[in-house]
Amino acid sequence: MPGFEEKYEEWMRANVSSETNPRRRERLEKGLSHGSVEFLRSIWFPAAGSFDHLHPEWEVRDLNGGYRYIDLAYRPGGAMGGIEIQDYGSHARDLDTRRFKDLCWRHGLLALDGWTLLPIAYPSIKEEPQRCKQLVLAFIGKFVATDVPAALDWLEAETVRYARRLLRPFSPSELADHLRITSSHSRRLLNRLVEMGMLSVASGNQRHRTFVLPSDVSGVNGKKRSTRS
User: What's the pLDDT tens digit per position in 169-209?
Assistant: 999 999 999 999 999 999 999 999 999 999 999 888 767 89
Confidence of residue 222 (pLDDT cuts 50, 70, 90): very low
Q: Cβ(125)–Cβ(43) under 8 Å?
A: yes
* Per-residue pLDDT, 214: 80
DSSP 124-155: HHHH-HHHHHHHHHHHHHTTS-----TTS-HH
Strand partners, 117: 82
The number of CA neighbours under 13 Å toward the Cβ of 213 is: 21
Sign of CA dihedral 168, 173, 177, 181: positive
- What is the DSSP-derived secondary structure letter of residue 220? T
User: What's the pLDDT tens digit per position in 52-111?
Assistant: 999 999 999 877 778 899 999 999 888 999 999 987 554 455 556 777 788 888 888 888
Q: Cβ(159)–Cβ(175) under 8 Å?
A: yes
Q: Cβ(207)–Cβ(229) under 8 Å?
A: yes
User: What's the pLDDT tens digit per position in 125-171?
Assistant: 999 998 899 889 888 888 876 567 888 898 998 898 888 877 789 99
